[in-house]
Amino acid sequence: MDFSYSEEQQMLQESVQKFVMQQYDFYKRDDIIKTDAGYSADNWNLFAELGWLTVPFSEEDGGFGGNAVDLMVMMEEFGKGMLVEPYLSAAVMGGTLIADLGNEEQKSGLIPKIMEGGLITAVAYAEQGSRFNPLNVKATAKVEGDDVVLNGVKLNVLGAPNSQIMIVSARESGAATDAEGISLYLVDSDAEGVDITAYTTIDGRKSGDVALNNVRVPATARLGAAGAAGTALSAVIDRATLAAAAEAVGAMDSLLTKTVEYSKTRKQFGTAIGTFQALQHRMADMFIQCQLARSIVVRAAMILDGDDDAATKARAVSSAKSRVGKSIRLVGQEAVQIHGGIGVTDELDVGHLFKRVTALDLMFGNAEYHLQRFASL
């Protein structure tokens, strides 16, 4: 395998790096989180101008035609700045589902708006007791004439408070854990019967719990064939899992860099603590974990872009997420320990990076879940 980035990928990486370094420092991020929206509309429009919102879409749909490696490159740089804009939920998850399952009318009506920054989507799939399994769906979809009535509760819907449209999974047939019988519906976030309980997650993102009480949508709001969305939903969750792993790699890289810098300035007994061999060994272990995590995420991205079967791709994603989760534990804890008490204060970005990697470890399944999933595939 050739692990080097192409010229286009290097340019994409540099554009995101430049934005994070020049326009998204720790204090600007903190100001954004404190707003009611919890993200910057100006930044979102800039993402559209720079073409970042087109990356997940194919050239046939008017997009950049980006692959999993392109996505990984972007998400790693996003991770270094701890971005709170809903790129993962709106473009990667929602946009990809519409592109994969939508008919021509749905795609032509929604995808251009997403790429232009005028439409934010969210994907509502997780439920109480589903335990990271997107196919464990108890929400119901009952056909009544030309309409479908949705009922159920979705938990921790990333980006829901800022979305205009949600893509909701609901079961039309079968038992709660059956792969078949799941459909996806386009639901207006302000539709009658939709109740969103918004909150800010521990790492600064906007999320919400969504209650669906006799929400009536036209049958034309269904994405794809009735009861046949399970495979596409699983594939998109895998792609989002890889994106989250890549974001964690970027955040861990920032933790390592800031820890090394701190060790050069913090003094004990008149000597910089970075000269202590014991701490040098611990920072070397942090570096090793960062490189291990990056390597396995690159490998998983290349497998996703290949011609392997779905099970092989799923194994690659779970292998990467499990490895990254283990690296998160060591890198995050060592960074906080070397910084001392200041490492968990709100005034220093290290504590916020630690919160972000901890949240990313849990997102779409923690290390233990993906280890079990890898073994079962």
Q: What is the pLDDT of residues 316-343, one digit of tens each?
A: 999 999 999 999 999 999 999 999 999 9
274 confidence band (pLDDT: 50, 70, 90): confident
Q: What pLDDT digit, counting tens, does each position of 123-134 carry?
A: 999 999 998 999
Pair 103, 63: CB distance under 8 Å: no
Q: How far apart are CA 140 and CA 214, in angstroms?
A: 10
286 confidence band (pLDDT: 50, 70, 90): very high
Which pLDDT score, from 0 to 100, does residue 31 have?
Answer: 96
Between 365 and 5, whose confidence is greater?
365
What mean pLDDT comes out for the span 2-18? 89
What mean pLDDT comes out for the span 85-114? 97
Helix axes 310-339, 277-304, angle to 10 degrees: 160
Strand spans (E) along 145-282: 147-154, 165-171, 182-188, 194-200, 206-218, 222-223, 267-268, 271-272
The pLDDT mean for the chain works out to: 96
Q: Which CATH superfamily is domain 122-227 in?
A: Butyryl-CoA Dehydrogenase, subunit A, domain 2 (2.40.110.10)
Q: How far apart are CA 253 and CA 13, in angstroms?
A: 15
Percentage, residues of the chain above pLDDT 90: 94
Fold of 231-376: Butyryl-CoA Dehydrogenase, subunit A; domain 3 (1.20.140)
Q: How far apart are CA 85 and CA 32, in angstroms?
A: 9
What mean pLDDT comes out for the span 90-95? 97
Q: How far apart are CA 80 and CA 178, in angstroms?
A: 38
Lowest mean pLDDT among 99-108, 209-218, 281-290, 336-345: 336-345
Q: How far apart are CA 6 and CA 10, in angstroms?
A: 6
Which pLDDT score, from 0 to 100, does residue 93 have?
Answer: 98
Which pLDDT score, from 0 to 100, does residue 2 have?
Answer: 64
Q: How far apart are CA 206 and CA 39, in angstroms?
A: 8
Q: How far apart are CA 19 and CA 22, in angstroms?
A: 5
What mean pLDDT comes out for the span 278-296? 96
Position 89 pLDDT exceeds 90: yes
Pair 324, 301: CB distance under 8 Å: no
pTM: 0.96
CA-nearest of 301, 361, 300, 299 to 330 is 361
Which pLDDT score, from 0 to 100, does residue 106 have?
Answer: 97
184 confidence band (pLDDT: 50, 70, 90): very high
Position 287 pLDDT exceeds 70: yes
Q: How far apart are CA 69 and CA 298, in angstroms?
A: 7
Collect all residues with Cβ–Cβ distance below 8 Å to 222 and sequence separation of at least 6: 148, 183, 184, 185, 186
1 confidence band (pLDDT: 50, 70, 90): low
**β-bridge partners, 196:** 210
Counting Cα atoms < 13 Å in the Cβ hemisphere of 343 gives 19
What mean pLDDT comes out for the span 19-36? 95
270 confidence band (pLDDT: 50, 70, 90): confident
Domain coordinates of the chain in residue numbers? 7-119, 122-227, 231-376
Lowest mean pLDDT among 101-110, 240-249, 263-272: 263-272
Position 348 pLDDT exceeds 80: yes
Which CATH code of 3.40.640.10, 1.10.540.10, 3.40.50.1360, 3.40.50.300 fits the domain covering 7-119? 1.10.540.10
Q: How far apart are CA 113 and CA 217, in angstroms?
A: 21
What mean pLDDT comes out for the span 66-85? 96
